[in-house]
Amino acid sequence: MMNTELTCPIHWQRAIALIDMNAFFASVEMRDFPELRGQPVAITNGLQGTCIITCSYEARAYGIKTGMRLKEAYTLCPQLIQRPTRPNVYAQVSTRIMHAISTICPDMEIFSVDEAFVDMTPCQQLYGSPGRIAHLLKRAVFDASGLLCSIGVSGDKTTAKYAAKVNKPDGFTIIPPWEARQRLHAVPVTELCGIAQGIGGFLARYGVHVCGDMQKLPISILAQRFGNPGRRIWYMAQGLDPDEIHTDIADPKSIGHGKVIPPNTRDRDVILTYLLHMTVKVSARLRRYQFEARTYFIGFKSYDGWLGGKMKLATPQNDTHLLFQLCKSALDQHWHGEGLMQVQVTALDPQPTRLQLDLFATDPCLEQHKQLNHAVDQVNHRYGDMTLTPARLLNRSSMPNVIAPSWKPDGHRQSI
């Protein structure tokens, strides 16, 4: 290990690190099942899943990528090993990793289930140089999970994220803020986080292909087209990304659950069971984080595309029973016996539960449901999700749960 205290002895005005787990789900599998180590491993959603969620570096060497169909992957690498996801384990490992990071640098932004930004600026007084802190973090991640990670350190989020990608896996790259502009100079702008084809194409029309070209472009052109995010892009390309570490979890834009159902399902009862399952999950999650919603998307995917639509309630609600009634009327309105393959229930405008009391008494029935929901939530919180459910869900699907990339250890994103 190099002596980082010598590499970088100066106090940085701003020190940001990105910690990125290497092929997270695959690494967890290889950690727990030694026979997988050194093998090309692909993770799918259960053994029924056909789409590769992630794969080991050994598999990547064969050209296998995330999002690839299993069939295609087998042609590239016939000895590929398929493993089903274990979302609960990943959530557990992620929580431990995030917790370990936060004990060193409490100012952290959990970017996804396997990525986190930390602001190391204030920690420099306690632990020394950013390089040294990064080593502490890498060590802490390993101690907490037995897994390797890649770390990028710089003076801003964009450069830190770029640095973390440089030497994967097990990367460790420090770009001091005063070198950031120079280091990014020849990097294509589309390699920066947040610049995809859309903005990339816009920049290319103005002759901006690599970050170094950005200085030639007046900031006002980006501001005019994209507003403040545009201004941010201008700074990003010069190693000056002003974006802060967002330690709080923003209010959700939607809360929803969907599920693939047996192909060509036409049995109303079966569809309703799936809808109830999703309803129970969505409404319990809304209640858990004190949200309610007025508009719900209730959808059924047929072979000709999505049926269903937005259903609006009189007032924002999070009651399971009421939401299931809404599902039933959506089904009656939009479904005419087509074969279905997927259902979705999403709260579209979740807002914190109302604090304002009402002048006129509300429906006594809703008041009763509120008490019932509360009791069910208490039981399930203590004994595990779905311990107490409507009887119809005894026949629910055993298809495994899926962990979302935006999963977070705390708040409304903590759901599988």
Partner 1 sequence: MKFKIQRDDLLMPLQHVIGAVEKRQTLPALANVLIKADKELLTITATDLEIELVSRIQLMVDQPGEITLPAKKLLDICKSLPGDAEISIDIDNDRALIKSGRSRFTLVTLPATDFPSLDEISSVYEFNVPQSMLKELIEKTSFAMAQQDVRYYLNGLMMEVSSGLIRTVATDGHRLAYCEKTIEGDLIDSKQVIIPRKGVAELLRLLESSDDPIKVVLGNNHIQCELANQRFTSKLIDGRFPDFKRVMPSEEGNRFTADRESLKQALIRSSILSNEKYRGIRVILSKDLLKLQAQNPDQEEANVEVEINYTGDDLEVGFNVNYMLDVLNTSGQDVIQGVIKDSSSSCLMTFPEESHCKYVIMPMRL
Q: Enumerate the active-site residues.
A: 115
Q: How far is the CB of 182 from partner 1 (least distance, A)?
A: 37
- Taking the C-alpha atoms of residue 396 and residue 380, their distance in angstroms, rounded to an integer, is 17
Q: Where are the alpha helices (DSSP H) in 146-241?
A: 157-166, 177-184, 197-205, 219-226, 228-236
| Least Å from the CB of residue 363 to partner 1 | 12
> For residues 399 and 37, what is the distance between their CA atoms, to the nearest angstrom?
27
Q: Which is nearer to partner 1, 32 or 367 (CB)?
A: 367
Burial class from Cβ neighbours inside 10 Å (0-12, 13-18, 19+) for residue 9 reads exposed
Least distance in angstroms from the C-beta of 287 to partner 1: 16
Nearer to partner 1, 13 or 290 (CB): 290
Q: Which is nearer to partner 1, 355 or 394 (CB)?
A: 355
Q: How far apart are CA 242 and CA 159, in angstroms?
A: 11
- Measured CA to CA, the distance from residue 87 to residue 278 in angstroms comes to 18
3-state secondary structure (DSSP) of residue 264: strand
Taking alpha carbons only, the member of 174, 139, 146 closest to residue 160 is 174
User: Residues in the site for partner 1, rule: CB under 8 A?
Assistant: 314-315, 352, 355-360
Residue 27: how many other CB atoms lie within 10 Å: 25
Helices (H), 185-244: 197-205, 219-226, 228-236
Residue 130's SS3 state is helix
Query: CB of residue 44 vs partner 1: minimum separation in angstroms?
Result: 41
Instruction: Output Rg (C-alpha) for the chain, integer angstroms.
Output: 24
**Which of 34, 360 has the CB closer to partner 1?**
360
Bridge partners for 43 per DSSP: 54, 83
Kindly state the tokens that stand for 108.
């952290």
Least CB distance to partner 1 at residue 305 (A): 31
CB of 289 to partner 1, least distance (A): 15
Tell me the C-alpha distance between 110 and 98, whole Å.
8
Least distance in Å: CB of 357 to partner 1? 4
| CB atoms inside a 10 Å sphere around CB 3 | 8
Pick the closest to residue 404 from 121, 118, 113 (CA basis): 113
3-state secondary structure 308-324: EEEEEEEEEECCHHHHH
